[in-house]
């Protein structure tokens, strides 16, 4: 089987981290008889999958050049369970596998696929619970007479950050995730940033 061995560290100069990942994947490749193409994202955050290395890897997988994406640890691929769940859905539709050695996930096997599907289901449940809590919070705020209408503008700090991230090529969804991760407040007491709220903020500049 032809696989892509994906390597990532968050900061440049972490050669040991890269080599440790490479060794773990190489050992598994030798055991399973895989042919490995190495793809590396050095100095790239795991907050989302908007990285050149993973973009290249997904292109290779989609075109059928490789059969599976392999990481030594799941957090090397993404720290977001939602991103991982979406990647599993893409892999299933396009016919390639995902292997995370540390968790024993290998969607090319029935057991590994089961584990991956359970994780994807947990991610979907988590998103629905967040939505439910948001609705309940808004309902309680309305009951108390708090104004919960659409925010008219963003703070100068948030505006400047959004503009800079767009200049760097980040998608609306990636910007929203970065703002939520750093607890950047929405105007008028909003709860969560979404791609639509980022787009609206940019359109209202």
Active site residues: 10
Distance in angstroms (rounded) separating the CA atoms of residues 59 and 48: 17
- Do β-strands 35-42 and 68-71 pair in parallel, antiparallel, or remain unpaired? unpaired
Token pair for 101: 């050695």
Phi–psi pair at 99, nearest 5 degrees: -125, 125
Length of the chain: 205
Q: Which residue has the tokens 């439910």?
A: 132
Residue 51: HSE in the Cβ half-sphere, 13 Å Cα cutoff: 23
- Do β-strands 2-9 and 68-71 pair in parallel, antiparallel, or remain unpaired? parallel
Taken in order 117, 123, 124, 129, the sign of the CA dihedral is positive
Distance in angstroms (rounded) separating the CA atoms of residues 173 and 79: 15
């Amino acid at each position: 089987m032809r696989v892509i061995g994906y390597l990532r560290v968050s900061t440049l100069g972490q050669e040991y981290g890269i080599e440790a990942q490479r060794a773990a994947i190489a050992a598994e490749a030798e055991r399973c008889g895989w042919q490995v193409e190495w793809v590396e994202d050095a100095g790239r955050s795991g907050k989302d999958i908007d990285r050149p290395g993973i973009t290249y890897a997904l292109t290779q997988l989609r075109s059928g050049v490789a059969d599976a994406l392999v990481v030594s640890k799941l957090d090397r691929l993404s720290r977001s369970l939602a991103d991982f769940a979406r990647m599993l859905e893409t892999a299933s539709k396009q016919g390639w596998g995902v292997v995370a050695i540390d968790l024993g996930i290998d969607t090319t096997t029935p057991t590994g696929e089961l584990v991956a599907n359970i994780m994807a289901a947990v991610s979907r449940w988590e998103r629905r619970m967040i939505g439910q809590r948001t609705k309940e919070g808004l309902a309680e705020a309305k009951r108390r007479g708090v104004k919960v209408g659409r925010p008219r503008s963003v703070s100068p700090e948030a505006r400047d950050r959004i503009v800079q991230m767009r200049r760097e090529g980040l998608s609306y969804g990636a910007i929203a995730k970065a703002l939520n991760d750093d607890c950047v407040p929405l105007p008028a007491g909003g709860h969560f940033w979404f791609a639509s709220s980022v787009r609206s903020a940019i359109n209202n500049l």
